[in-house]
Amino acid sequence: LFDDSFVNKTLCERHLNEAKGDQTAFDFMRSQGDEAFARYQERIANLYSDKRINKAKRERLLMTAADIPQDFVERQLRETQYIARMVKDLL
C-alpha cells in the first residue's frame, strides 16, 4: 500500500520479504501454491477470531494489488506535501 505506518508492518523472515518484493501479502501467498495459500488464509482468520489483529489489519492482509484504492498514492502525496510544509515552518 506504499504505507510506512505501524499498522502496515508485519514481521517476517528477510528472505521472505525479499521474495515478496512489491506484491501484496495476499498475492505473494497465492503464488506459493494452494496449500500455502490455504494455510495463510486460515492463519489470518484465526488471528482475527482470536482478536490478535483488528479488522483493518485483516483487510490489508487479504488485499490484492487490484484492490488497492486508486486515490491512495495521491492522498499520500498530499499528506507528504503537508508534512513538508509543517517541517519547513518549524525549521
pLDDT in tens, 4-29: 677 677 888 999 989 999 899 999 99
Q: What pLDDT is stored for residue 1 in this prediction?
A: 57
Residue 88 has pLDDT above 80, yes or no: yes
3 state SS for the chain: CCCCCHHHCCCCCHHHHHHHCCCCHHHHHHCCCHHHHHHHHHHHHHHHHCCCCCHHHHHHHCCCHHHCCCCHHHHHHHHHHHHHHHHHHHC
